[in-house]
Structure 1
Amino acid sequence: MDDNKVLRLIHAAGLHEAELVATVAELGLAEVARILIDEVLFRAAVPHNHYPVVVQLTIAHEGRRVDSQLRAVGGKPWELLPVAAADQLVAMRIDYEALDLIRAVFGPGEERSVGYRTTSLLPSGSAAALTSDDQRMNYLGAATQAVQSILAACTRGRPDLGELATRYHSDKYGLLHWFTPHYERHLAGLRDEPVRVLEIGIGGYNSAFGGGSLKMWKHYFHRGLVFGMDIYDKSHLDEQRIVTIQGDQSDPDSLTEIAERHGPFDVIIDDGSHINEHVRTSFRVLLAHLRRGGFYVIEDLWTSYQPGYGGDPDPQSAAGTSLALLKDLMDSLHYEERPPGQERELVYSDLHVGGVHVYHNIAFIEKKLNAEGGIPPWVPR
């Protein structure tokens, strides 16, 4: 999957029209349409129509057009029909100018949901195939159920993370964890940005399963690129804007090589082995590859109390756990307040961690310049 083309289109979506026109000309309308259709099909919710329908999405630019026919069957993902199936009964034709659809799907700023497309219900030729009132009513009812998911997918949309976690079968919301409201609180400001997200741990172990969280992040960050790292090969999950990497989070050299090749990142999420030593190694190596203003997230803090993960049930004696790391970061935040003679040699996290937010089983570490200056010496001690 050539994500360089996708990233160029995402970048151009936020530029002046002349730059966007030049990018479309360079990539070619057919390639631009392929990227857009791939994204629309990914975002479109599974339809619930009781009767199969077809929606034609037409993307035009400078006198040329690309037609795509998308078939909806209730309870199944949308399907892109081959060109040879052009005689299908079309419920609605939706026409977009390529520049408008690019901005609607990948652009920053406000939503572009109406006034940027034309629609034609049961285009000429399709209506003639419906020979009775019952057929027309059944088909129109099914079309109403199906078409909305395509129209919604042709905008950036704003489903919350809880909804997306449920749709893509991520365990970050429901049953085991209730993490998504915390993610929303801290990451919402990045949602419109062309971010790079690295999640350690894809899920499913050595099976074909896993990847739900990667899809959730891809949908949430509509302009972002999502990397998933796992000790197992998960390359079967690679798709547009999702890249999987095989690596070992306990190996500093492996982490460094991955970060130098794919970073720097705006968000790093450790949902990997949950072994405390691995968590600490990953943080020590990867913090330097997180952009200022980004977040480093550590999930499943409960393993700090479990000996099987290198934890200790006694919080007072647990020096090498994930929670102990967070407690150390609290001291790092306040290194400037140490009394004279009690200073210690500074480490990277002292200068580059500007906030630590801890919730049940999850922590968000903000990367910021931590150099505000201590309380001046003339203030009474």
Structure 2
Amino acid sequence: MTADTALLDRVVQAGTAPDAEIFAVVEDAGLGAVVGVLVEEILFRCDAPINVMPVDIALDVTHESERHRTVFRMVRDRPIAILDGEEPVIRRELRMNVVDLVRRLYGRADHPRTGDFHDAFLPTRPADLTELPEIFASTNQASGALLSGCTVPRIDLGALSVAYGSDKWASFHWYTAHYEKEFAPYRDRPVRILEIGIGGFSGELGGSSLKMWKRYFHRGTVFGLDLFDKSELNQPRLTALTGDQGDTDGLVALAREHGPFDIVIDDGSHENEHVRVSFEALFPYVRSGGLYVIEDLQTSYFPRFGGTADKVAGSKTSVGLVKSLLDDLHHREHATYPGHPTSVTEESVVGVRVYRNVAFIEKGVNGEDGIPRWMDDEAWIALGAIPPSAD
């Protein structure tokens, strides 16, 4: 873990911690370093500016007697720039305590969006008042874009999928509605996510879903795994790893280095053998309370992916794997229990939820007991659950 990554992890963790923890991070790393982390996150989250006239906005972040200023230059069709050395024409000054900005970015999704900053709109008189209407409009538009990056986004995951170019919604998949329901309990947590398959065809870099997850999980750390080097995608809270999902040893090494994970999503080759290899290697490295997701179960019925050309998927397919997990979930009811060693999945699968072409496997402690094994007809009759024999 690099120093920058370690600092980012501390800032993210501090987002829901007491103020004293944020103070400690600032005292250890320095206000400038912490602001650097926060500004990178703001730039990632910001909506694209729509103002035609360039607008310079100053953000002053304070801590006790210290103040650190960052000037953003915003204009349509260009990346937001951080001015350094160039004399700006400040159209708006925003001032915020570092504690409040950390909470805005890495606190809970319901954190207030007002009442925590100071504002000076057009702090100096424009030299040419004929430009005033355009200055007003452009400053308003640029400010809205900047402040969109200073909050936890209230996002429809389907819209976010479309915006980033992911195929998880409104393509030939309709997954995001299920993801929103399943991932809601994790939204405010500093989760670690691994997605198998980064995408990108015909030389494209891909990474659409990884960016979507980074935006959705505002405190999360996202890893992607691909056969090809996609490290150009690397940025704070997002890392592209290179590897083969059919390589058990490689997957275990990856999980030991970067896990354990709260969520693993298999959107890789969709080869049925690869799906099973990945699950067997990575499920042990999913945290208790976490989820393992398998997408595109339809390949269980496609022979070219190792599927079954029949209406009943074979045991070696992805659907066959999911069916077997239902058996593992109920292993205490098996006639052979407790006379055989239990597997990882028998011990830790606590839920299997399946929607069209996507399955969510929940991990935990599968320790609930059921009906005592000594229950016989005499006991059931004593309970009144079955009538006594007429004999």
The TM-score range, normalised by the shorter chain, is: over 0.9
Give the corresponding residue for 2:85: 84
Match of residue 191 from structure 1: 187
Aligned to 1:14: 16
1:20-59 matches, within 5 Å, as 20-59=22-61
Partner SS state of residue 312, structure 2: helix
Structure 2 residue 242 is the aligned partner of structure 1 residue 246:
yes
Deviations 1:175-197, CA, capped at 9 Å, x for gaps: 22111111110111111111100
> Is the contact made by 1:50 and 1:74 (CA closer than 8 Å) also made in structure 2?
yes
Q: CA deviation at 1:324?
A: 0.6
TM-score, normalised with respect to structure 1: 0.93
TM-score by length of 2: 0.91
Runs of 4+ aligned structure 1 residues displaced above 3 Å come to 339-345
Query: CA 1:357–1:213 in structure 2 vs 1: closer, same or farther (change >3 Å)?
Result: same
Shift of 1:158: 1.7
**Given the alignment of the two structures, is residue 154 of structure 1 paired with residue 153 of structure 2, yes or no?**
no
In structure 2, what is the Cα distance between the partners aligned to 1:298 and 1:137? 53
Letter of the aligned partner of 2:137 in structure 1? G
1:290-315 alpha-carbon deviations (Å, 9 max, x no partner): 01111100111111111111111214
CA apart distance, 1:206: 7.4
Identity between Structure 1 and Structure 2 (%):
42
For 1:340 and 1:18, how far apart are their aligned partners in 2?
54
The aligned counterpart of 1:232 is 228
Q: Say what the alpha-carbon RMSD is for the aligned residues.
A: 1.9
CA drift at 1:317: 5.6
Counterpart residue type for residue 215 of structure 1? K
**1:70 corresponds to:** 72
Q: Report Cα offsets for 1:88-147 as digits up to 9, x if no partner.
A: 3222111111121111111236313111111111122xx333x124x1111211222221
Give the equivalent residue in structure 1 for 2:129: 132
Q: Name the SS of the counterpart of 1:173 in structure 2.
A: coil
Cα deviation, residue 162, structure 1: 1.5
Give the 3-state SS of the residue equivalent to 1:128 in structure 2.
coil
Q: Distance in 2 between matches of 1:114 and 1:310?
A: 55
Q: Residue 178 of structure 1 aligns to a residue in which SS?
A: coil
* C-alpha distance in 2 between matches for 1:18 and 1:73: 38
Larger displacement relative to structure 2 (173-182 or 268-277): 173-182
Encode CA deviations 1:41-68: one digit per residue, 9 max, x unaligned.
1000112223322222111222222221
Change (3 A) 1:278 1:38: same
Moved more, 27-36 or 341-350: 341-350
Instruction: Note the C-alpha offset of 1:13.
Output: 2.6
Please list every run of 5 or more consecutive structure 2 residues that lacks an aligned counterpart in the other structure.
387-391
Shift of residue 342, structure 1, vs aligned partner: 10
SS at match of 2:139: helix
Contact 2:313/2:320 (8 A) holds in 1: no
Unaligned runs of 5+ in 1: none
Q: 345, 348, 354: which one pairs with 1:349?
A: 345
Helix, strand or coil at the partner of 1:69 = strand
Matching residue within 308, 312, 321 for 2:308: 312
Q: Matched residue of 2:120: which SS?
A: strand
- Aligned-partner residue type, residue 30 of structure 1: G
1:220 CA displacement: 1.1
Q: What is the identity, as a one-letter code, of the residue corresponding to 1:295?
A: L
Q: Which residue of 2 aligns with 1:102?
A: 102
Alpha-carbon separation, structure 2, partners of 1:316 and 1:36: 52
Larger Rg: 2
CA distance in 2 between counterparts of 1:11 and 1:196 reads 12
Q: Find the aligned partners of 2:310 and 2:184 in 1 and give their Cα distance.
A: 36
Find the residue that maps to 1:123 and give its secondary structure: coil
Following superposition of structure 1 onto structure 2, how do residues 261-300 of structure 1 map, counting pairs within 5 Å?
Answer: 261-300=257-296
Of residues 211, 216, 221 in structure 2, which corresponds to 1:220? 216
Name the counterpart of 2:389: none
Between the two proteins, the alignment pairs up a number of residues equal to: 375
